[in-house]
């Protein structure tokens, strides 16, 4: 039986490995976001996982702070911070197996770093020296995607191709609440469901698309509800509860791996900082709103759980903070070095087989650079022959 | 040596055969699009492929062009070689963002780590009485996008040879199929397809001494007809079939114009901002001292594609081409 024959059409009864539902609309999300921390569900959580999540959250926040600082020092052209959303970023990275693929948007450098990508390589796009600073195949992280939601059909296609080849690979695609209004979001979800592709969509609903609040973006009861129309389950999760995001994503990935198709997960979170360093969030939201979310901080939530249950003591937390500081110091030091650029790179990767007119333009740039170098040499010669005692 | 019976074949059959042979030779080649399965495509180019290769490799997709091309990008990322069919020129526009921001740029964005060897087949052009949105010549958009190759056949043999090469290419290729030539026939042996010039080489379809008609795709037969008619006027016209707009074969085109000293560019696409402007500039830059007259363009009018009952007034025809040839300042010669 071929892969395309296996796929199930929309079934009114839930597939076997899926939690049975008794209500008449089995794909609908829960009314309230799923939570683990501070609930009885936390007792079942793996202490090692909680400690790992905590360490990555602390590192992640430090990474965001360091990257934002680098914009102020002129070392980054722009940085869209994920401060406040670290639980989503970190859980997305840790929940995947090495063979799986991550499809990040431009706000998801942290997820890429938490998956193992070198922090400097993750930032070349935003520094402005290389569109993608890494080989996507190395950590199976697609290029950070700037055009909204356009990475989602890529995730579907890759997951579908892996399934056709018989490989056990799941793709996890990240998108924001604004991205759910894009046509590519809908087309990706529809293709994924029709093909029953092993892909999971994580919407980080951080409340804003730059300045536009969710209420102006959608009239749906929740973004997770959108799943129902495509015939896949929608899950709603507290996006600041790292354990809950990890659990819900884990279930969705297991479902995809079992051949039961895609899931849409909406993580409700909040963007604590402006859209980027170039944005002014005072123009569209009140401080009080931001402050209210501070009480539901992802790091504080997990720290409380770990402390109350005695899973991490003060020494352990200090070690985590020191590790984060070391990462930040290393990042700072390496980002303070100017990248070495070769202008001839402009032509290096346009085509496998360059066109003749591109070869002509390449030769033109080469000639310009050679002329520049000769002028530079002449100037240097002139200076070195200046008589002694002359002042400039 | 036995002689193989060479039967007439249509361009649509040759394209289908190219897909079939590519799929047979390379298991990573997948065909996807709207109605390409059981129906065999609205132009029947994919006829029989689903039956032969199964639904996993010949896939009827949901009706959404951005989704089709976007998922093909993901499949190519994973090592497959998708051949996407856009049903009609004007229906390919929803896929523009995927084409321009990802297909054309992925190799460059990833510094060669993630090439996308995919082919986008687009039936294009008018002349078949198609109603609104079925007759656009969209090549100018594609050729203005760095990172894409843009190829268009005008003969049955080229349809096969160029499509095979496009599918095998590691660069993304927009393969423009002149839909009014789908049913054009030529003697062609599918079991021993003749070798054709590679992508990037233009071909002189008809040698001549008086002037060069530079053209491609659906306008090639029109130009050949014009060249025949021109004999009565005493003009011996050369016809150059570009075959690919990107890469552009400056060498063949310039050599022809240097021989003839006069040139007319002919295409269905609108003239303003169309391929003809670029081609005329390239010819002038290379052949200025050989030119007896400015390079002229015979193009579609700069109007939205007209209703089919009026399209013959819009499309470049023999008379309009001969009028342009007449304006090539022949009086200066005497």
Query: What residue in A sits closest to B247 (Cα-Cα)?
Result: A355
**Is the Cβ pair A157, B77 closer than 8 Å?**
yes
Task: Decide which of A112 and A19 is more confident.
Answer: A112
CA distance A223 to A203: 8
**Is the Cβ pair B70, A4 closer than 8 Å?**
no
CA distance B168 to B163: 9
Contacts with A164 from chain B: Cβ below 8 Å? 30, 56, 80
Q: How far is A208 from chain B (nearest CA, A)?
A: 23
Contacts with B75 from chain A: Cβ below 8 Å? 157-158, 160-161
Q: Quick count: other Cβ atoms within 10 Å of Cβ B164? A: 18
In chain A, which residue ranges form alpha helices assigned H by DSSP? 3-6, 47-72, 86-95, 109-114, 119-127, 136-139, 151-164, 183-195, 226-230, 242-257, 287-294, 298-308, 314-335, 356-384
Q: How far is B315 from chain A (nearest CA, A)?
A: 30
In this predicted structure, what is the pLDDT of residue B16?
Answer: 97
**Is the Cβ pair A159, B97 closer than 8 Å?**
no
The long-range contacts involving A22-25, CB below 8 angstroms and separated by at least 24 positions, are A25/A228
User: B interface mutation test: which of A161, A186, A345, A353 has the most B CBs within 10 A?
Assistant: A161
Option in B66, B147, B247 nearest A187 (CB): B66
Cβ atoms of B265 and B238 within 8 Å: the answer is no
User: B interface mutation test: which of A193, A197, A349 has the most B CBs within 10 A?
Assistant: A349
A11 — pLDDT class (breaks 50, 70, 90): very low
Q: How far is B38 from chain A (nearest CA, A)?
A: 14
Look up A44 and say whether it is catalytic.
no
Query: What residue in A sits closest to B110 (Cα-Cα)?
Result: A132
In 3D, which of B101, B19, B103 has the Cα closest to residue B53?
B19
- Retrieve residue B195's tokens: 């070798």
Q: How far is A77 from chain B (nearest CA, A)?
A: 17
Q: How far is B323 from chain A (nearest CA, A)?
A: 32
Confirm or reject contact between A220 and chain B (CB < 8 A).
Answer: no
**Is the Cβ pair A157, B73 closer than 8 Å?**
yes
Dihedral sign (CA B255, B259, B261, B262)? negative
Option in A150, A157, A353 nearest B101 (CB): A150
Query: What residue in A sits closest to B78 (Cα-Cα)?
Result: A158
pLDDT in tens, chain B (334 residues): 445 557 789 999 999 999 999 999 999 999 999 999 999 999 999 999 999 999 999 999 999 999 999 999 999 999 999 999 999 999 999 999 999 999 999 999 999 999 999 999 999 999 999 999 999 999 999 999 999 999 999 999 999 999 999 999 999 999 999 999 999 998 888 888 889 999 999 999 999 999 999 999 999 999 999 999 999 999 999 999 999 999 999 999 999 999 999 999 999 999 999 999 999 999 999 999 999 999 999 999 999 999 999 999 999 999 999 999 999 999 866 5
- Placement of tokens 């059981």 in the chain: B38
Confirm or reject contact between A355 and chain B (CB < 8 A).
Answer: yes
CA distance readout (Å), B134 to A140, B34, B60, B68, B123? 40, 15, 20, 19, 9
CA distance A293 to A314: 25
Cβ atoms of B42 and B89 within 8 Å: the answer is no
A148 — pLDDT class (breaks 50, 70, 90): very high
Segments making up each domain of chain B, as ranges: 8-187, 203-333
B8-187 topology per CATH: Rossmann fold (3.40.50)
CATH architecture of the domain B203-333 equals: 3-Layer(aba) Sandwich (3.40)
At A37-62, the pLDDT tens digits run 999 999 999 999 999 999 999 999 99
The alpha carbon of residue A140 and the mean position of all alpha carbons in its chain are separated, in whole angstroms, by 13
Look up B134 and say whether it is catalytic.
yes
Segments making up each domain of chain A, as ranges: 3-335, 343-384
**Is the Cβ pair B64, A155 closer than 8 Å?**
no
Contacts with A361 from chain B: Cβ below 8 Å? none
Q: How far is A262 from chain B (nearest CA, A)?
A: 14
**Is the Cβ pair A349, B78 closer than 8 Å?**
no
Q: What is the mean pLDDT of residues A1-16?
A: 56
CA distance B32 to B82: 7
Q: With a cut of 50, say whether residue A9 has pLDDT above it.
A: no
Option in A143, A159, A160 nearest B109 (CB): A143
**Is the Cβ pair A171, B114 closer than 8 Å?**
no
At B29-70, the pLDDT tens digits run 999 999 999 999 999 999 999 999 999 999 999 999 999 999
In this predicted structure, what is the pLDDT of residue B4?
Answer: 53
CA distance readout (Å), B191 to A32, B5, B10, B60, B248? 64, 10, 14, 28, 30
Domain A3-335 of CATH type 3.40.50.970:
yes
Contacts with B170 from chain A: Cβ below 8 Å? 352-353
Query: What residue in A sits closest to B113 (Cα-Cα)?
Result: A135
**Is the Cβ pair B64, A353 closer than 8 Å?**
no
**Is the Cβ pair B78, A161 closer than 8 Å?**
yes
A202: buried, middle or exposed (CB in 10 Å: 19+, 13-18, 0-12)? Answer: buried
Confirm or reject contact between A359 and chain B (CB < 8 A).
Answer: no
- Retrieve residue A304's tokens: 């409380």
Q: What is the mean pLDDT of chain A?
A: 92
Query: What residue in A sits closest to B282 (Cα-Cα)?
Result: A357
Percent of chain A with pLDDT over 70: 92
**Is the Cβ pair A158, B250 closer than 8 Å?**
no
**Is the Cβ pair B107, A350 closer than 8 Å?**
yes
Among the listed residues A35, A186, A284, A285, the single catalytic one is A284
Q: How far is B30 from chain A (nearest CA, A)?
A: 10
A390 — pLDDT class (breaks 50, 70, 90): very low
Which residues neighbour A308 within 8 Å (Cβ) at sequence distance 6 or greater? none
The radius of gyration computed from the CA coordinates of chain B, to the nearest angstrom, equals 20
Q: With a cut of 50, say whether residue A263 has pLDDT above it.
A: yes
């Amino acid at each position: 039986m071929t892969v395309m024959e296996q796929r199930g059409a929309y079934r009114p009864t839930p597939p076997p490995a899926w939690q049975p539902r008794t209500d008449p609309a089995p794909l609908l999300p829960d009314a309230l976001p799923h939570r683990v921390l501070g609930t009885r569900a936390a007792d079942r959580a793996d202490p090692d996982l909680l400690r790992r999540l905590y360490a990555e959250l602390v590192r992640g926040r430090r990474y965001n702070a360091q990257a934002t600082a680098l914009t102020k020092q002129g070392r980054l052209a722009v940085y869209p911070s994920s401060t406040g959303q670290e639980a989503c970023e970190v859980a997305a990275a840790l929940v995947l197996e090495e063979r799986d693929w991550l499809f990040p948007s431009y706000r998801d450098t942290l997820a890429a770093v938490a998956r193992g990508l070198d922090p400097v390589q993750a930032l070349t796009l935003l520094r402005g020296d290389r569109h993608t600073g890494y080989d996507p195949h190395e950590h199976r992280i697609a290029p950070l995607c700037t055009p909204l939601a356009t990475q989602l059909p890529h995730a579907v296609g890759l997951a579908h191709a892996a399934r056709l080849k018989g490989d056990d690979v799941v793709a996890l695609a990240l998108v924001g609440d604004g991205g759910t209004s894009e046509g590519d979001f809908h087309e990706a979800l529809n293709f994924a469901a029709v093909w029953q592709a092993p892909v999971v969509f994580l919407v980080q609903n951080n409340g804003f698309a730059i300045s536009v609040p969710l209420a102006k973006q959608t009239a749906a009861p929740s973004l997770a509800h959108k799943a129902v129309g495509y015939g896949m389950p929608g899950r709603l999760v507290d996006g600041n509860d790292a354990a809950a995001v990890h659990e819900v994503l884990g279930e969705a990935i297991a479902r995809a791996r079992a051949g039961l198709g895609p899931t849409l997960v909406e993580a409700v979170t909040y963007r604590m900082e402006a859209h980027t360093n170039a944005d002014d969030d005072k123009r569209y939201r009140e401080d009080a709103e931001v402050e209210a979310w501070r009480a539901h901080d992802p790091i504080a939530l997990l720290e409380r759980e770990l402390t109350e249950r005695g899973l991490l003591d003060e020494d352990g937390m200090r070690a985590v903070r020191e590790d984060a500081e070391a990462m930040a110091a290393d990042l700072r030091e390496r980002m303070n070095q100017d990248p070495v650029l070769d202008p001839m790179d402009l032509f290096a990767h346009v085509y496998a087989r360059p066109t003749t007119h591109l070869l002509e333009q390449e030769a033109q740039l080469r000639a310009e650079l050679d002329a520049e170098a000769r002028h530079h040499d002449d100037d240097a010669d002139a200076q070195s022959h200046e008589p002694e005692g002359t002042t400039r | 040596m036995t002689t193989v019976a060479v039967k007439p074949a249509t361009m649509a059959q040759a394209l289908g055969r190219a897909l079939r042979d590519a799929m047979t030779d390379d298991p990573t080649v997948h065909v996807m699009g709207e109605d390409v399965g059981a129906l065999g495509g609205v132009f029947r180019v994919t006829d029989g492929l689903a039956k032969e290769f199964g639904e996993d490799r010949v896939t009827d997709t949901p009706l959404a062009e951005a989704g089709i091309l976007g998922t093909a990008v993901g499949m190519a990322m994973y090592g497959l070689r998708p051949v996407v069919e856009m049903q009609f020129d004007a229906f390919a526009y929803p896929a523009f963002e995927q084409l321009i921001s990802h297909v054309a740029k992925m190799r460059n964005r990833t510094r060669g780590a993630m090439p996308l060897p995919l082919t986008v087949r687009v039936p294009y052009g008018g002349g078949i009485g198609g109603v609104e949105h079925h007759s656009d010549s969209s090549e100018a958009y594609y050729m203005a996008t760095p990172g894409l190759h843009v190829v268009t056949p005008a003969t049955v043999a080229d349809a096969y040879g160029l499509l095979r090469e496009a599918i095998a290419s590691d660069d993304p290729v927009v393969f423009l199929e002149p839909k009014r030539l789908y049913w054009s026939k030529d003697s062609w042996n599918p079991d021993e397809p003749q070798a054709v010039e590679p992508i990037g080489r233009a071909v002189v379809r008809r040698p001549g001494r008086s002037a060069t008609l530079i053209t491609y795709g659906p306008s090639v037969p029109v130009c050949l007809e014009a060249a025949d008619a021109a004999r009565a006027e005493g003009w011996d016209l050369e016809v150059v079939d570009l075959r690919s707009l990107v890469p552009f074969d400056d060498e063949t085109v310039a050599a022809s114009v240097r021989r003839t000293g006069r040139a007319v560019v002919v295409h269905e696409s609108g003239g303003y901002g169309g391929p003809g402007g670029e081609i005329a500039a390239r010819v002038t830059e290379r052949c200025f001292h050989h030119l007896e007259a400015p390079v002229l363009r015979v193009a579609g009018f700069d109007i939205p594609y007209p209703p089919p009952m009026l399209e013959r007034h819009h499309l470049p025809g023999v008379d309009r081409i001969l009028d342009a040839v007449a304006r090539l300042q022949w009086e200066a010669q005497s």
